[in-house]
Amino acid sequence: MKTKFKVALTICVTLAVLSSSLFIATLNAASSTHEAEASSNNLKYASVSGGNVVFDNKKDAYVEMKKVNSPSSGNATLTFYYSASNSFPLELKVNGSTICSKDTISSSSKTVSYSANMNSGSDNKIKFKIREAVSGVKLDKVVISTDGSSSGSTSSTSTPSDSSSTSSSSSSGGSAKWSQDGDGTITVTSGVFDGGGKSYGSNVGDGSQSESQPAVFELEKGTSLKNCKIVPPAGDGIHVDGNNTVSNVTFTDVGEDAISMRSGASGGKVTVEDCSFSKADDKVLQVNKESTWYLYDNTVNGAGKVMRQNGGKTFKLTVYIDGLKATGVKEAIVRSDSSNCTVYYKNISCNLSQSDWWMGKLTAKSW
C-alpha cells in the first residue's frame, strides 16, 4: 500500500515538474499579431469584411501588411490564419525577400506557417498574394513568434484568470469556442463565453487613447460574453461583429473605449445588459457600422459620452435604452452626426440635464 502510494506520488510530482517546465517554455516565447484588415495595410483586388480580408476572384489579389511588429529581430515563425473554400497558390514576400513563390495552400486547414527574417519593432512588410483567380479565400491575421531569447518584449503572460491558449470547450470559457493570441486578445468563435466572474484585460493595451490597441475580447458574429470583469489597461475593450450579447460585464476602468463595432464588422443586433462601465476617458460604446443596439439596465460612472456613432458618418443606427444610471457624463448620452440615428429611451437617470442627453443630428423618442 505504502509503496504504491510512493509510486503514485513520484508520478504526480514528475508530471507536475514536466508540465510546469513546459508552461515556462511557452511563456518565454514572444509573439505579436498583425490583423489582415489593419488600416495600415494595402489591398489589391480585396476588401475588408468582418475582421478579415476577403480576396476577389482575381489573379494576383493581395494584401500587403505594413508596419508589422515583430517581438525581436532574426528568425521568426509567421503563422497565417485563413479560410478558403478552394486551395490557392500563394506567393509570400517578407521585407522584400521571396519566402515562397507558388505554394499550394490547402482549403482543409486554417493556418499555414513559414519561417522568415524579421526586423525588430514595427518596421516589417509582409505581402500575401494569390497567384491565380480563386474564390472564397479570406485572411484573418498573421502571428509572428520568436523564441524570445533574443531580447525585447515578452509575450503577454497570462494571469490565472486571463486564461491562455486555445479551447474548444472549457470551464473558463463556458460553452464557447475561443482562442487567445499573442496580444492577449480572446476571440470567441462560437457560443457563450462565461467568464465565471474572473478578470480579463490586465495584459492588453497600454491604457492610452491610442486607436491601434488590441481588443480584450473579439466576439465573432452570433457569440456572447457574460460574467466577467474587464480591468486596465483593457486595450480597445470588446469588439462585436453583430448579433452579440454582452451581459454582466464590469469595466473597472475603460480603456480606449469599452465596446465597439468597427467599420469592418458584419453589423446586426447587439444587446448590452446589466453591465457597468467606470472611468471612460471618452467613449463607452463606439459604433462604426449600421446596427441596432439594445441597452438594458446598465450603469456608467464617468464618460465623455455613453455612445458615439462614428464622427461624420450617416449610416442607420437604432438604439433602445431601457434602464441607464449614468453619473459623471461630460458631453451626452448619445452623440451622432447621422439623421438616420434614432434613440428610443426610458428609465434613464443621468447627471446631465435632459436637454443635453442627445447631441448631434439624431432623433430621440421617449419609449
257 near ligand ADA, judged by CB under 6 A: yes
Nearest to 101 by CA among 123, 132, 124: 132
Three-class secondary structure of residue 105 per DSSP? strand
- 8-state DSSP, 212: T
Q: Which among 21-29, 169-177, 193-201, 255-263 is the span making contact with ligand ADA, rule CB under 6 A?
A: 255-263
State which of positions 287-326 bind ligand ADA (CB under 6 A).
288, 310-311
Return all residues near 234 (Cβ < 8 A) that are at least 6 apart.
201, 204, 205, 207, 216, 251, 253, 254, 255, 258
Chain-centroid distance, C-alpha 158: 16
Q: How many CB atoms lie within 10 A of CB 103?
A: 15
Per CB under 5 A, the list member of 257, 267, 290, 300 interacting with Ca ion is 257
256 near Ca ion, judged by CB under 5 A: yes
CB 304 within 8 A of CB 335: no
Three-class secondary structure of residue 107 per DSSP? coil
Q: Which is nearer to Ca ion, 71 or 255 (CB)?
A: 255
Dihedral sign, Cα of residue 7, residue 13, residue 15, residue 21: negative
Instruction: Write down the least CB distance from residue 314 to Ca ion, Å.
Output: 19
Instruction: Write down the least CB distance from residue 260 to ligand ADA, Å.
Output: 5
213 near ligand ADA, judged by CB under 6 A: no
Instruction: Write down the least CB distance from residue 317 to ligand ADA, Å.
Output: 14
Instruction: Write down the least CB distance from residue 205 to ligand ADA, Å.
Output: 12
Instruction: Write down the least CB distance from residue 16 to ligand ADA, Å.
Output: 44
Q: Which among 17-25, 220-228, 256-264, 348-356 is the span making contact with ligand ADA, rule CB under 6 A?
A: 256-264
**Amino acid, single-letter form, for residue 269:** K
Q: Give the number of residues in contact with Ca ion, rule: CB under 5 A.
A: 4
Chain-centroid distance, C-alpha 205: 11
260 near ligand ADA, judged by CB under 6 A: yes
Q: Which residues sit at the interface with ligand ADA, rule CB under 6 A?
A: 211, 257, 260, 262, 286, 288, 310-311
Binding site for Ca ion (CB under 5 A): 236, 256-257, 260
